[in-house]
Amino acid sequence: MSKNYLIFIVGPTAIGKTALSIKLAQHFGCEILSCDSRQFFKEMKIGTAVPNDEELAAAKHHFIQNKSIFENYSVGDFEKEAIAKLDELFQKNHIQIVVGGSGLYVNAILQGFDDFPEVPNEIREKVRNQYEEKGLEFLQEKLQALDNNYYSTLLKENPQTLQNPQRMMRFVEVCLASNLPYSSFLNQKKNQRNFTPIIVGLEAEREIMYNRINQRVDIMMSEGLLEEAKNVYPNKELNALQTVGYRELFDYFDGKTTLDFAIEQIKMNTRRFAKRQLTWFKRNEDTIWFDFQTETSTIINTISEKIQHAD
């Protein structure tokens, strides 16, 4: 195994991952990579709970507000940039930290993804136009025609994916761009990594977790989330903005709901999101779980022991 160690701090939203990661970075003298898929975007500061100026000054962070919502930025792009940055950082310190609640982006760093073909812009635009004109059912039928095996697998094992327009457009795009079934690109040999992962998870009792989420939403509103959402509202169809905390306020701007109802929907949808995050991260049996109130020194000792045993 590699003598580089990458500490992952994972868990549901509003659990305290940022605070812990900063304390660990200060202790180990290293830097922090964010893999929160919405904190990349500089137009979405408040609604994505970007670390504040004091937190950013306390430890060097990467991949925070480094992109615009107008840029096409995929998990594959992130994987390439993050691995390149880690190669650079490991030259300075053999311990580094990754923090975030986006499971797909954690996996991108942890093990990488299958290698898919480039999709030309004209195909991407064509598929999006077809979806906007004909709806989700069209994409489902298209995938069934282009890759019936994969469609049948999703129907049986992961039916909610068939209801996700972004994922469905992606499947169809790849089929059309390659003239091959989407499933033919799956389960390829994953990339080798030059680090040993140590995965730390933070959790809390559900009622505590939900109360923390509700409080965070109230704080976001007091800090100006409504104004931030209003600024990006003209571009509400962009993929980056299909996000809890913005979609609900867009409905308010559209006159579909009251502001109070929109805020309650943000809280409810964030709680649901946190539950999905926990389900995702609990699947990895290598994760070491701690209650969110655990003393940092206890977590540091556990990490240090893992490193010593690995060495």
Looking at the fold, whether 255 and 272 belong to one and the same domain comes out as yes
200 DSSP β-pair partners: 9, 288
Looking at the fold, whether 127 and 42 belong to one and the same domain comes out as no
Among residues 162, 185, 208, which one ends one of the domains?
185
What is the DSSP secondary structure assignment for residue 100, as one 8-state letter? -
Distance CA 102, CA 8 (A): 12
Residue 64 tokens, joined: 């925070």
The H helix count followed by the E strand count for the chain is 13, 6
Who contacts 109 (Cβ-Cβ below 8 Å, separation ≥6)?
6, 8, 33, 35, 79, 82, 83, 86, 98
Please answer whether residues 229 and 251 qualify as being in contact, where contact means their C-beta atoms are separated by less than 8 angstroms: no
Number of domains, the chain: 2
Looking at the fold, whether 164 and 226 belong to one and the same domain comes out as no
Among residues 166, 185, 204, which one ends one of the domains?
185
What's the mean pLDDT when you consider all of the chain? 94
Q: State the amino acid at position 300 in one-letter form.
A: I
Percent of the chain with pLDDT over 90: 85
Mean local confidence (pLDDT), 93-107: 94
Q: How many CB atoms lie within 10 A of CB 258?
A: 11
pTM metric for this prediction: 0.80
Distance CA 189, CA 192 (A): 9
The values of phi and psi at residue 38, to 5°, are -110, -20
Looking at the fold, whether 281 and 195 belong to one and the same domain comes out as yes
Looking at the fold, whether 20 and 139 belong to one and the same domain comes out as no
Please answer whether residues 78 and 240 qualify as being in contact, where contact means their C-beta atoms are separated by less than 8 angstroms: no
Residue 48 belongs to a domain with what CATH number? 3.40.50.300
Among residues 153, 185, 217, which one ends one of the domains?
185
Q: Which residue has the higher pLDDT, 249 or 103?
A: 249
Structural domain harbouring 151:
121-185
Percent of the chain with pLDDT over 70: 98
Looking at the fold, whether 83 and 47 belong to one and the same domain comes out as yes
Looking at the fold, whether 98 and 139 belong to one and the same domain comes out as no
Looking at the fold, whether 215 and 298 belong to one and the same domain comes out as yes
- Binding site, by residue number, is 11-18
**Tens digit of pLDDT for each residue in 232-245?**
999 999 989 999 99
Please answer whether residues 181 and 154 qualify as being in contact, where contact means their C-beta atoms are separated by less than 8 angstroms: no
Residue 164 belongs to a domain with what CATH number? 1.10.20
Distance CA 61, CA 297 (A): 22
**Tens digit of pLDDT for each residue in 10-28?**
999 999 999 999 999 999 9
61 SS3 class = strand
pLDDT surpassing 80 at residue 108: yes
Looking at the fold, whether 162 and 280 belong to one and the same domain comes out as no
Cα angle 186, 188, 193 (rounded to 5 degrees) comes to 125
99 DSSP β-pair partners: 9, 34
114 SS3 class = coil
Looking at the fold, whether 274 and 235 belong to one and the same domain comes out as yes
- Binding site for ATP, by residue number, is 11-18
Instruction: Give residue 93's pLDDT.
Output: 96
Q: State the amino acid at position 244 in one-letter form.
A: V
- Binding site for substrate, by residue number, is 13-18
Looking at the fold, whether 88 and 152 belong to one and the same domain comes out as no
Looking at the fold, whether 142 and 280 belong to one and the same domain comes out as no
pLDDT surpassing 70 at residue 227: yes
